[in-house]
Amino acid sequence: MNEIILGITGSIAAYKAADIANELTKSNATVHAIMTAAATKFIAPLTIQTLTKNKVYIDMFEKVDYLDVRHISLAQKADCCLIAPATANIIGKLASGIADDMLSTVVMAIKGKPVLICPAMNTAMYENPVTQSNIERLKGFGYSFIEPKEAFLACGDKGKGALADVHVIIRTILDILGAQRI
């Protein structure tokens, strides 16, 4: 059984993370969801917890009833990490080595396992040279990306920036996990 970290960030596309979590769980994966504080403004952690049947991690400093260092233990047991949706903020943090919340610290602690990032943001933000530079930097570090699609965005603009289709994300992550088994 595959262990997948599902990072969910504060994009309007966060509601699609429920479908992603559900499909991964149906595929017999164990999903450990980590939500940024901003993500919880778009979708309730209870929704993700119900679908994954696992605790949803948000706060690095919450009172805990376990003895391990959670951001390290999650990173060590994961077969891969999927960040969907990924905002310009999390992409920038990771590209700059900033680890100031549960998701960024876990991703920074992942060693030798695939990290797949699915951007979702306004077209202007996605096409911004800083965002594109951060994406290229992360690719240089070995991170993989699923390109956003062109669509009508929540803000009313039409352009590239919508989260890739859920079935594309699921197929890609399962292909990556299948390749790891060979």
Are the CB atoms for 168 and 146 separated by under 8 Å? yes
Among the listed residues 80, 81, 118, 155, the single catalytic one is 155
Encoded tokens for 57: 């991690």
Are the CB atoms for 2 and 80 separated by under 8 Å? yes
Are the CB atoms for 121 and 92 separated by under 8 Å? no
Q: What is the dihedral of CA 92, 144, 160, 31, to 10 degrees?
A: -90
Cα–Cα distance list, 127 to 25, 26, 59, 101, 132 (Å): 33, 34, 31, 25, 6
DSSP state of 57: B
Encoded tokens for 101: 């919340």
Neighbours of 80 (CB within 10 A): 20
Phi, psi dihedrals of residue 177, rounded to the nearest 5°: -65, -35
Told to judge if 155 belongs to the known catalytic residues of this protein, a careful annotator would answer: yes
Task: Kindly list the catalytic residues.
Answer: 155
